[in-house]
Structure formats: C-alpha cells, structure tokens
Amino acid sequence: MTVLPVEYVSAEHVEAQKAALLRTLGLSEHELQHKAEEGTYSLQEFYAWETLQGLNFLLSEDDAS
C-alpha cells in the first residue's frame, strides 16, 4: 500500500473512501455517529467510526488550506 502525504490526497479521494466505508457497513454517517454516541456499535463499526474521524480530519485540513 502506498501512503501519500496529506497534501497529495484530494478531497474527492477522501469522500470516495468515506462512501466506500459506509457502503460496506450499510449505514449512513449519521447512523454510525448515532451508534457511536450511544456506544452501541460493533467492533467493525467502532473501527469504521475511528476511520471516518480521520478522513473528516483530512477534509477539514484541506478546507483550512
């Protein structure tokens, strides 16, 4: 797997990763957030939530620049 510096990752790529992750779970980001807030998620959903937080951070960094 190739790891690219953040400045080389496009917002479109990050959004595509988020969409693929949520599609795999069969949940919306809102549904996953609700499960996270209630602490009712599975281990897979926990890792997906943490991954989404990282992807959202990348998007916020992209918006800031």
Find tokens 């479109």 and name the residue. Answer: 12
Contact 5, 60 (CB under 8 A): no
Helix 43-64 with 29-38: angle, nearest 10 deg: 120
> pLDDT-based confidence at 10, cuts 50/70/90?
confident
Find tokens 């009712």 and name the residue. Answer: 40
Kindly report the average pLDDT of the chain as a whole number.
Answer: 85
pTM here is 0.74
Top-confidence residue, 2 or 20: 20
Top-confidence residue, 60 or 3: 60
Largest CA distance in the chain: 35
